[in-house]
Amino acid sequence: KNEVEQSPQNLTAQEGEFITINCSYSVGISALHWLQQHPGGGIVSLFMLSSGKKKHGRLIATINIQEKHSSLHITASHPRDSAVYICAVYRNQFYFGTGTSLTVIP
């Protein structure tokens, strides 16, 4: 069993919809990262969280340490948001979720 589980695995949304991607983990961690992998393959870091909530543009990330759960929200989704979103947790090393493939249709 993977230490980090994401849901859903695949997600298709209409442009403008509010999107939520979930991440649950089974180990105690000191930080959680959300990454975005573009269709071309490049990976960029979106957020680092150890508590609470962070916002960057239309993206919001939250974490509940007690419940071992984090969510990534995208407001007013756009086709350019289409990508794989990966949750990663840090406990002496990084452990990655299996990713959520998001497709936003115009």
Of 14-73, binders to other proteins (CB under 8 A) are 29-33, 37, 41-45, 48, 50
Q: Which is nearer to other proteins, 18 or 94 (CB)?
A: 94
Q: Scanning residues 72 to 91, which ones bind other proteins (CB under 8 A)?
A: 84, 86, 88-91
- β-bridge mates for residue 41, sequence order: none
Task: Using the minimum distance from each CB to other proteins, give the nearer residue, 20 or 95.
Answer: 95
Q: Cβ(59)–Cβ(70) under 8 Å?
A: no
CA dist 47 and 87 (Å) reads 10
Q: What's the Cα-to-Cα distance from 11 to each of 18, 51, 67, 88, 104, rounded to whole Å?
A: 12, 26, 24, 19, 8
Nearer to other proteins among residue 58 and residue 95 (C-beta) = 95
- Interface with other proteins (CB under 8 A): 29-33, 37, 41-45, 48, 50, 84, 86, 88-91, 93-96, 98-99, 101
